[in-house]
A and B are shown apart, each in its own frame.
Chain A
Amino acid sequence: GENVEQHPSTLSVQEGDSAVIKCTYSDSASNYFPWYKQELGKGPQLIIDIRSNVGEKKDQRIAVTLNKTAKHFSLHITETQPEDSAVYFCAAYHSNDYKLSFGAGTTVTVRA
C-alpha cells in the first residue's frame, strides 16, 4: 500500500517568514495530493490540492509543488501569520482506490 512520509514533525517560524513542509510517497500510481490544516479542536480542513498532471499550484499565500519523478510534494506558506499555526497533513490518493494515505503531520507554530 501507499506510504507517505512527512517532514519536519514540528516547525517554528517567525511571523512574516516562509514555512515549507515536505512529503514523499511510495506508490507511483498515486495521482492526487491534498493538504489539510487542522486547528486545535477542529477537523482537518482542505487548504489546497494538486493532481499529478500539474507541477505547481498556488492560492494566495499557499503553494504546493509536485515532483512525480522523485515522488515528493511540498507545501509552501509565505508571509506566515499567527493564524497559520496549526497541524498540517499531506496525503496521497490513487483514483482507482478510495483511501487517503496521510502523513504523520507537521505542527507549525508562527511566533509573533
Chain B
Amino acid sequence: DAGVIQSPRHEVTEMGQEVTLRCKLISGHNSLFWYRQTMMRGLELLIYFNNNVPIDDSGMPEDRFSAKMPNASFSTLKIQPSEPRDSAVYFCASRLSTDTQYFGPGTRLTVL
C-alpha cells in the first residue's frame, strides 16, 4: 500500500508568488495534518482536518496560508503571497481514527 504522497518534492519560487503544495492521504485514513519544519522551530503543526473538516487551524501563521480538503483523500496547502521566511520543509501526515500519524516525504520550499 502506498504511503502518504506529497508533491512537488522541491519548490523554488520568488517572493510574492503563489505556492501550492499537495498531499494524498493513505487510502482509508480520515485525518490529515500539515506541518512545517525548520531548524529554529522544529516541527510545527499548521492545521488538522478530520473527515475533510478543518478542526484546528490555530497553527496557520497568517492569512497568507490556506488549506483545503476537497475530498477524503487529497489536500492542498496554499501560500499567497509567499515570503522568504516561509522557506521550510512542509510535511503532511495522515491518520486513521486515533492511531498514529504517518508522514509524507515532505516538500522543501525555498522562497527567494
On A, residues with C-beta under 8 Å from B are 32, 34, 36, 42-46, 49, 89, 93, 95, 98-100, 102, 104-105
* Interface 9-mer from B13-21, B42-50, B66-74: B42-50
Tell me the bound Cα distance from A87 to B91 in angstroms: 16
Q: How many A-B residue pairs have CB under 8 A?
A: 37
Is B101 part of the contact surface with A, judged by Cβ < 8 Å? yes
Q: Is B103 within 8 A of A36, CB to CB? A: yes
Residues of A within 8 A of B56 (CB): 98-99
Secondary structure at the B interface, as helix, strand, loop or mixed, is strand
Query: How extensive is the interface on chain B, given as a class?
Result: 10 to 19
Q: What is the chain B residue whose CB lies nearest that of A42?
A: B105
Residues of B within 8 A of A100 (CB): 45, 101
Interface residue ranges of B12-52 to A (CB < 8 Å):
31, 42-43, 45, 48, 50
